Structure 1
Amino acid sequence: MSRRFVDTLPDRQVEADLADELEDLDGIEQCVAVRGNYEGEQMAYQLLVNVTDRGLLALHYRESGWQVVYDSAEDGDIESSEELYRRAHDALYTHADPDPDSNHYETTPPFWTAPDEE
């Protein structure tokens, strides 16, 4: 499922609004544009996707295309959904722009903090 879903994405950063559209697809419970830049509109280079009956996919875009940086289906038993989201956001953070400029945006849950800030 993860590769199949990634293959449906355009080979570029995507408009943040696309996350809302992806939620309309069968099997997609939630999709959030986690990080990106303002280039006239919000362009996402990281997405977090909750796939029904499968779990979370954390996706990061680089020049070679979209990559799965975290797949909860491969992470064994996790006790809470909060821990699941922490792991996904930690994985995205390790691939995020280390020196974002003023055009950068970030959408993370209130319970998550960057690993070096804890």
Structure 2
Amino acid sequence: MSIENTLSEIRDINLNYLMLAQQMIREDKPSAIFRLGISKDIANLIDSLSNSQLTKLANAQMMLARFRFDDCSILNMLTSYNKDSALTNAHAVMLMANQPVEAIA
């Protein structure tokens, strides 16, 4: 994959992520803050962005979304087969919820 294709894919992912995040925030802000792992200030900022601003932000040459698990055990819980997957997923969600909220620096 060429660098141009990679950057184009990143832009597409960023725009889709920002549009989904904005929709989630507008529909249910507390739930969106939890699910996206962002602060209330960042949620308010994303909510206030125009389509033009979303597009401009999506053009960053880096991924705006990131994995919320830095610990392999959480990834293993979410991907490994388990008879009680609902309990495993709930446990993983609780572990991720205890992680600090991300902020744009």
Indicate the TM-score class for this superposition, using the shorter chain for normalisation.
Answer: 0.3 to 0.5
Give the structure with the higher percent helix: 2
* Bigger Rg, structure 1 or 2: 2
TM-score by length of 2: 0.32
More strand by share: 1
Question: Given the two structures, how large is their TM-score scaled by the length of structure 1?
Answer: 0.30
Relative contact order (C-alpha < 8 Å, sep 6+): which is higher?
2
